[in-house]
Amino acid sequence: MAYAVAAYLHFVAIFLLFSLLVLEHQLFRLPLNFKRARSLFRVDLAFGIAAGFVLVTGAARAMRYGKGLDYYLNNSFFHAKVGLFVIVALLSIYPTVTFLKWRPALKSGQVPSISPTSARMVKLVIHIELLALLLLPLLAALMARGLGVIPQ
């Protein structure tokens, strides 16, 4: 039963993470207004929390409720999956830093400013993150079917 609950929580965290990134993508368009800028700031914070939840539930599954840590550590698709997740985490730093710079303007009730170049970069990073997150379930499915096992 605990295995099913751990898997369920992991899947919910993944769906939440992806949904928040899609929402961020939809909200981020120029010209910005105060309401959307504030929402972007909050959605990005929730995205970071959801990413942490994905990481914690994934670690719980790998270490305690899955097929055993040895299974995962000896699977190349697991390494690719974790690596891709780390890449998404690193990419997400750019939009987060951009939105954090808006905090003083938002606190004073003003619309934050962003250059068109910076806006294009944020949008590009979000697109790359979405694409990478779409590849994670493929890697997970391949791994779950026993493919990618590293011979010892």
**Domain annotation covers residue 149:** no
**Domain encompassing residue 29:** 2-144
The pLDDT tens digits for 112-123 are 999 999 999 999
User: In which residue are the tokens 């730093």 written?
Assistant: 93
Take residue 2 and report the two structure tokens written for it: 């605990």
Span 25-56, pLDDT tens digits = 999 999 999 999 999 999 999 999 999 999 99
Q: Residue 1 is which amino acid?
A: M
CA distances to 21, 94, 118, 148 from 140, in Å: 20, 27, 33, 11
Residue 119 lies in a domain: yes
**pTM for the complete prediction?**
0.91
Asked if the structure places residue 104 within a domain, the reply is: yes
Domain count for the chain: 1
Q: Tell me, yes or no, whether 150 lies in a domain.
A: no
- On whether residue 124 sits in a domain, the answer given is yes
Q: What is the mean pLDDT of each successive set of 10 residues along the chain, which is 152 residues long?
A: 91 97 96 96 97 95 85 92 96 97 96 96 98 95 88 78
